[in-house]
Structure 1
Amino acid sequence: MDWNNCFSHGRFGQGVISTTPRTPYERDFDRLIFSAAFRRLQDKTQVFPLPGPVLVHNRLTHSLEVASVGRSLGKLVGERLSEELGDHLSEAAKHFYTSDLSSVIAAACLAHDIGNPSFGHSGEAAISAYFIDHAGTILDGQPLHQHFDAAEWQDLTHFEGNANAFRILTHHYANRQKGGYQLTYTTLAAIAKYPCESVATEGGKIHTKKYGFFQAEKQGFAEVAQILGMVVESTDPLIYKRHPFVYLVEAADDICYRVIDWEDAHRLGIIDTGTAVNLFVQLLETSAIDKMERIHKTLRELESDPREQLAYLRAKCINYLAISCVEEFVKNRETILTGSYNRSLIEGIEPASIKALEEINKVTVKKIYNHETVVKIELAGYEVMNALLQSFIPAILRKSPTHREKKVLKLLPQQFRGENDTPYEKALAVLDFISGMTDSYAMELYKNLRGISLPTHT
């Protein structure tokens, strides 16, 4: 892999490369913005329950903000790479880095959460838990787990939103276009934080901490990797080194969730103004680019409006962390290119800044992630997702479904039905349906199937 050939405007699943006034990467962004999967993120939990009297972030607003930060990271890094690499870059590469990298990172950021199911990360855990807990359930004379091979079972018992995102973006659903969204290979690679299969997951390595593609999409991912020259670490199990652009998408996400959850928590009264302001100020005090005298002056001017104080500090913190991540990327560009840079960019910034972020994270875990409302939504997610899977998985796998199961299968949209599919493909089709649900729809269907409420006429 080289800085001259680690990108391609070729499209997954599209045999020809069309030309339009928009760049291929701008078209990636637009395809995602107008997609149903992206729209559904507006009713998927980020951290706090939706909806409520106080407007908080959902998956969609989070993704838009990550895309905004990602666009800036891509622009700044692209300009720096063009300067630093100079004559080493071809004219096409110079154009890409100065004009197109920002669009690639923005598009990948839009899609980074598109595979996450309802109810936050507890939705992922609930899907995995269903298969683990029902491994011994007898279907057609054999336990559930025996319907799948070892690698397939690993996928199902360790459901991963990152792998699900790659599937949503590339899978050929019935009566849909081949190649899914037909995004560019570059944008798809930039999303793949964990470029390995589920049986290859291993702690201690940033690129194998989780996995990035299901067995069903293994060949498709290999195609993306081959086109872009991604470094192969192992063929069995299949593991690639990260694509360099992944680090920028990851950094944009890291910056946003570390900072923006605090605004929501402050609005909800979970974190007091003093704590929020003081810890953000402590982070900015580690910055060599910010003038603290001016920051304190602005805070005094805004002291009658604590929300505006926090909004101001949030903007300053995002700017500082973004610039720090750009510097870290450029400084370590060669190890990043080879995929041997084994940490996130935000973990490589100034030690004093990392310490300040750790203090913020301690409060985040204690007061936000373990807040009663957050715990309740996670528990509700377990109950709802488990109940939906109990209704659909046996129904789709059984050769002779019961009368109730036949009725349940009528609720499965046509693109998720494959009469000749393997048990694994059928199970993934159900997961496509359930993981794509919004929080509200999943809850309503759960109530309908349990007889708690009846559907309203539409």
Structure 2
Amino acid sequence: MNFQEKWRKLLLPLRYGGSGVDFKKLDPARSPFLQDRDRIIYSSSFRRLARKTQVHPLVRNDHIHTRLSHSLEVSSVGRSLGAMAGYFLRRRDELPEYAAPEFPGQILEAACLAHDIGNPPFGHAGEFAIRDWFGDPANHTYVNALEETYQSDFRCFDGNAQGFRVVNVVENNRDQGGFRLTYPTLASMVKYPWDSWQSRTRSGKCKFNYYQAEAGIFEEVFCALGLKTRRGDFARHPLSLLAEAADDTCYRIVDMEDARELDIITLADILKVVEPLAPSLRL
């Protein structure tokens, strides 16, 4: 299989819960991936990110990043990275005939908007609180009746897996659930293409991207995009690596603004960190 054939699958604008793709009706001005972006932006789950701080919990300073402002910044970086990738693929003649070079950027914009949509309040401390509650023997009644793999979902609660559940099940639950996002957008959100049980047995860490309840959805999406390996596990979508890069860029650089705003670090500290990227910056 050549690269164009691989990208033909990886960018295939199938929509979860949809009925296939009519390539003759693909409108670059209103592509399926732009529709993904809009479905996320206008959702209540996305708006709720405004009430969750990004790094520093329990602050009274309203200039601090929230999960919503962080997600908007990540989507901006992701769109730029995706656009560069799209035009790079076009120059190499690796884009499929139906795909515009803007498609990777649009996919990443949508995926990055939703990348934190399942995170609880108080950042990663919220994840630890939920895990501790379900790990407390006094609360075992709630999970002991479940199969062991399902118990692991509760005791290893992760915002990434909760995000996959939100976009596929929780939102629009009166209409059988989910935003009905395209497969490339869903796959580009996935940083850890395995479940909680696999995560615990392989690495002992609570980092995974789908619960047992959504395992069927996950497998359908990743198989359709050609991401199931010969070993039977799943590979990451190439664009998910750019989504992670966009997140890391904002987390490691832009979010230093918050530490400066809270007088945790100084401007000199920031300049020292970014000097390798921009040597001309001086106090």
Q: TM-score, normalised by structure 1?
A: 0.56
- SS of the counterpart of 1:117? coil
Structure 1, unaligned runs of 5 or more: 286-291, 304-458
1:118 is aligned to 121
Does 2:28 correspond to 1:25?
no
| Distance apart, 1:47 and its partner CA | 1.2
1:220 is aligned to 217
2:226 is aligned to 229
Q: 1:4 to 1:14 in 2, by over 3 A?
A: closer
**For residues 27-426 of structure 1, what are the structure 2 equivalents within 5 Å?**
27-49=35-57, 52-53=60-61, 55-84=63-92, 86=93, 88-93=94-99, 95=100, 98-134=101-137, 137=139, 143-171=141-169, 176-201=174-199, 202-203=202-203, 210-232=207-229, 234-235=231-232, 239-281=233-275, 283-284=276-277, 292=279, 295-296=280-281, 299=282
- Distance in structure 2 (CA, Å) of the matches to 1:177 and 1:264: 39
Q: 1:182 to 1:241 in 2, by over 3 A?
A: same
Give yes or no for contact 1:42–1:60 (8 Å, CA) kept in 2: yes
| Distance apart, 1:173 and its partner CA | 6.7
Q: TM-score, normalised by structure 2?
A: 0.88
Give yes or no for contact 1:12–1:179 (8 Å, CA) kept in 2: no
1:360 is aligned to none
Q: CA-to-partner distance for each residue in 1:91-129, whole Å, 9 max, x for gaps? A: 224x2xx12110100100000000001111111111111
Q: Which runs of 4+ in 1 moved over 4 A?
A: 16-21, 172-175
- SS of the counterpart of 2:255? helix
CA RMSD of aligned residues (A): 2.4
1:352 is aligned to none
Identity of aligned residues (%): 41
Give yes or no for contact 1:232–1:240 (8 Å, CA) kept in 2: yes
- Distance in structure 2 (CA, Å) of the matches to 1:16 and 1:90: 17
Give yes or no for contact 1:194–1:212 (8 Å, CA) kept in 2: yes
Amino acid at match of 1:227: A
Q: CA-to-partner distance for each residue in 1:269-315, whole Å, 9 max, x for gaps? A: 1102222222221x226xxxxxx4xx34xx4xxx5xxxxxxxxxxxx
Q: 1:175 to 1:167 in 2, by over 3 A?
A: closer
Give yes or no for contact 1:70–1:252 (8 Å, CA) kept in 2: yes
Q: 1:120 to 1:184 in 2, by over 3 A?
A: same
| Distance apart, 1:234 and its partner CA | 5.0
Counting matched residue pairs gives 273
